[in-house]
Structure 1
């Protein structure tokens, strides 16, 4: 059997001490019951040997068989108990089974002391009384864990013969009867003492076992807590070292620990940071802010400047968190390098400013163009209304060549504006792809001037092409021609009779095409704004022409 306090039911977890003690007592009595059973069988053999032929053999055999059956039942009950592994709360039936077996055993021995000896042989009776007394004494030592079992064995085994002897009328037998009763009372008293010792021992054993278990549990919990703390510290260290942010642990304003990312960010070595004051790393302008963060329970981020090893100011984002480490109040500070974020914010701000400026200029440009488009449209609409609603004189005026030329010029100006807008849109969207080739500058200048010859003749303006025939340039002829046409058109607007417009290309330089005129030129006060779209510098031409500024 298992030697643990609870034996085969030790796996039961119960806080009821009385139940546990009761279960252990049942286990003890079952573990020692085979001693008394074996002694009973041995005593039966002795009785058979001594009494064989002295009394009726049939009566002796019947008694011996009954005792043997009872002993066998006791053995079987012990085996079943050892295999049952009963729970604590199921021990009561096993107790009653054991008490029943001991009572039957005691009753058989009590019957034997009264009815087995020959009527005229006191020696045989005394022998059986002594034998029963020995078995009763043995039961005291064996069954003391369950005191009821001693009563169940000793009283049935000894009381009948004591009663017979007391009632015999013989002084000696009466005395022997009383002695027998005193012996039984002595056994009962002794069994009570032994039972008290056994119960106290078991209780102390449980208390000691609980104490040992509690100590083992405490040691185990302490060991587990220590292992957990070590693992937690290792995990924190690994996480801190793997973090992209710098981490500083502060106690009383001094740095007691940090991670590798902080060293990489600031450029300091571990020896240089160890024991350093936190404020030694902070630009003085931010000392007051950091002091407030260290004393307040605020975990929101703040932006400050740190002093790096090379003396530069590093923009960082700082978060402060309070913690408790080994009974000391500490501050854990996370430091994030925000240089790239600052660059991105600056780029976004500049892009936003440029976008807002571009939107403003676009709105102004559209407003200016819309205003310039209205004039030629109004001229055309006025002529059409004169033709439809005017009288004969008005219609005749509308049909005059100079009126029609004025309307045609307005329409031509509107077409030019639309073409310029379309070209500008195509340039911005990348739909105009330059197709460069070698061209003769003189031929392109002749083509450009020929397109304005009728207007120049009407205004008395002379057009000159001064470019040498051998002058070549590698460019897109259409785009360069458009630029030249815009410049010549602007020159014609502001030149008057006897003025000259020339296209030339100075020698001994890279290819430069110059369009010049002898007209009034651009006034000094508007010359500085000639390339600004947000400034309306359009003026009237020499013939009353309007424009949209520098095309």
Structure 2
């Protein structure tokens, strides 16, 4: 067996709680047997039967005194009896104060061995000193009492071999010596019998002690291994992310790891509940219907993913379990492992979300390239074509009215191209966070009127009536250029998707929370309910067909909403397909100052009169 010095430091043991566990490297050698604990267990029966043994000893002393009192003179008999009484009282006093010998040590064992030697010497006295002076009949009584005492004492001290052998040897030796002194054959035979009995009792004591020692050592090692396995399992439960659980034949929990309540976020009593009840799961949650089906069929559960809903989040468990069967093949329940895979599941969902976002970004990029190339190609064709015609001078000399039309077309196409590039740059600056607001106060009606006038010619060219109600107004705070850009984008978008003759109305609306909304209402083609949020994505349009009957690259609404949200507001759409759309550019109350109501002259005298 390896000692402490044989094992390198740090590999001898590790501590779990208050119990030291041997390392895996030391498991090949059996742990050292605690001899002091074994001695305490050996001495405990002595303490239990000590009053009876001392009672029997006192009775034997009285028999000897009664048998020899009339024939033995002098103080030796009384002195012997007093020594027996004193030693018996000492032993009983020690027993009363330390009955179980729970803290038995070498000192306790030595005290018992010394006591047994003292009793042995006292019982050797009658056979050696009193026998010659007493009658033959009394001698037989004394010999019988001493022989019985030798056997009884040796048997009582069997668990302590040294004490047992010493007691039997001293008392039996005294009997043997006394019988030799008498010199008769029968006496010699009795002496040899006494010695043989003492020798057999000694052998029995040694053999019994070895058997008890081996049995105690085996029990100690078995308990040690059981303790180690139990603590190792506990250590595994503490350090591992897996949780152990076990149910009875009705599916109710009879055991679970200590971390299960904290994992569930509850302090309720979980014993006696089913796993589904403990988790607070609904049968409709993912995996629980399969769990119920497998348990009902007494089948193995292997890597079943369960959804566990919480108040603020959703957790995921990976469940593995085996059915338990008794000796008669009766079903006892399930025992298994729960692994919390919430982090892995969320990471998986995040990867899926990121993949979908990447796919959408790739689609948006492809759509951006397709749309932008188409939109850029159209004005560039006009610019290049009419520029070539100007260079070729095919329609007469320069200064001819037809060249003015060419120049106007080139200017219009160049402006359109510049606006497309400006929208792309705005989106890029907003996404990068480099677009900053230059805030100032302005009149809402004035900025709406500016947007109306800038879009009036475009509406007139499209044969769309455009009107603006500027009576309701308020002071607003924000970036004038960007707010005007939002309004122009919304009005332009309404004109683009309206049919000739369909009117467009502009007005200012007082919101219930004190905010302000610029309202642009058209009677155009409308937007399908499923597309109301999609149209705010970059490069998306309400009409996404391949024919692309309406121009633009789909950045107007995206830019409008982003600028509105930079002002802590929003752009929202209410639309009915084929019946028109209402767009609202909403500013929060903190950016709006509504005018105070004016008190008329007619109401003033009445108020004054009432005050008086």
Question: Please, what TM-score do these two structures have when normalized by structure 2?
Answer: 0.40
Considering fraction of residues, name the structure with more helix.
1
Q: Higher Cα Rg: structure 1 or 2? A: 1
